[in-house]
Amino acid sequence: MSKGKLLVISGPSGVGKGTIVNLLLQRRPNASLSVSCTTRAPREGEKEGVSYFFLSKEKFKRMIDCGGFLEYSLHFENFYGTPAEFVEKKLEEGDVILEIDVDGALNVKSAKPDAVLVMIAPPDRQELYRRLKGRGTEEEEVISRRLARADYELGKSELYDYVIVNDDLETAVGQVEHILEKE
């Protein structure tokens, strides 16, 4: 019997997921963030076992074959997946947060119906654009693609257990904490 809850956080790029999760982890020492596996190459500054577990396509496929993933999907020709054993081990120590896209999140819910799905939504589209632009990490063309994807992701909100609007950051973090306490 695991000790912790599995909390899955999704939402469009730039909505503030990373910011919320970082604050949550500082406040809840028994919670941890899951590390996904990917076949893409590490970006500058990314660390093995912290940002991702970086695997070859062969190793990733072997893990698929032996049921090593809670869920996995393909994005832009690279595989991404949630390692099942890693998550189960962490759940024995406390709450585990997965920050993954909507398709992955819905697959997690099918595999583990106890998982709690939280969608982080922007106050409005203009504010999402302002945040993506303000973060300064993407070109205008990438921002347009991410905004188009945002409509798809937010369209799945009704399949989530909770939807939190990240308007005031402090309020949003408090709402996620409340969900963890209540569930």
Among 19, 33, 40, 146, the residue binding ligand 5GP under the rule CB under 6 A is 40
In sequence order, the β-bridge partners of residue 100 are: none
Of residues 117 through 156, those in contact with ligand 5GP by CB under 6 A are: none
CB of 104 to ligand 5GP, least distance (A): 3
Contact 137, 91 (CB under 8 A): no
CB of 21 to ligand ADP, least distance (A): 8
Q: Pick the piece of the chain touching ligand 5GP (CB under 6 A) from 76-84, 110-118, 121-129, 174-182.
A: 76-84
Binding status of residue 166 toward ligand 5GP by CB under 6 A = no
Q: Which residues of the chain form contacts with ligand 5GP (CB under 6 A)?
A: 36, 40, 71, 73, 75, 80-82, 100-101, 104
